[in-house]
Amino acid sequence: MISARKLKEKFEDNPMVVAVTNEATLGFALNSTNEIVFLLSGTISDLRVTVNKLLDKGKLVFVHIDMISGMSSSPAVVEYIGDIFDKKIGIITTKPALVKKAISENIRVIHRAFMVDSKSKNIFLDNITQNFTPDAVEIMPAMVHSVIREVRDKLPKMTIIAGGLVTDKKEIYEIINSGADAISTSSVKLLQD
């Protein structure tokens, strides 16, 4: 398992993260030089094959367990992922209970949060500062620069990934300049540029 420090360096060195949402983005991920992959689709029955293909290509893989068909929001899912992949991959989740379970199981975890209003932002920050510390956070949508700056100010050592609604390179630079370490996208066009 990669150390927390090495994980942060990996995101800083690889600021464009391939978000796999279909066969086309999976094919791109398998053949690209992008080293980090977020698996955001699939089923529990094809998970092992898909993840092993990515691992065989040397990718650092995070599975969004909330989005894999057939997985529940039970903490047992975190144990299952840890067991079948021998803790070689990490998870992404929006659920605080699953973040805590991953931390207790020594599995790398990214807490994904949707910043839809001030209340959601404050609950998110309270959880991170008072209840648990994931390896990284992913802030959605990526275009909330002021929130990214605030999270960076409150969590200066946290790896911050921004995702969602990024449409061009200019936005990528703005997001990185606002304090994000990396951007996740399923846009092959942005990943290739």
Q: Distance of CA 165 to CAs 146, 148, 184, Å?
A: 16, 15, 10
pLDDT of residue 48: 96
Q: How much is the pTM?
A: 0.89
CATH for the 4-190 domain, from 3.20.20.70, 3.40.1390.30, 3.90.230.10, 3.40.109.10: 3.20.20.70
72-108: pLDDT as tens digits:
889 999 999 999 999 999 999 999 999 999 999 999 9
User: Is the confidence at residue 177, as pLDDT, over 90?
Assistant: yes
Mean pLDDT of the chain: 93
H/E element, 22: none
164: left (phi over 0), alpha (psi -120 to 50) or beta: left
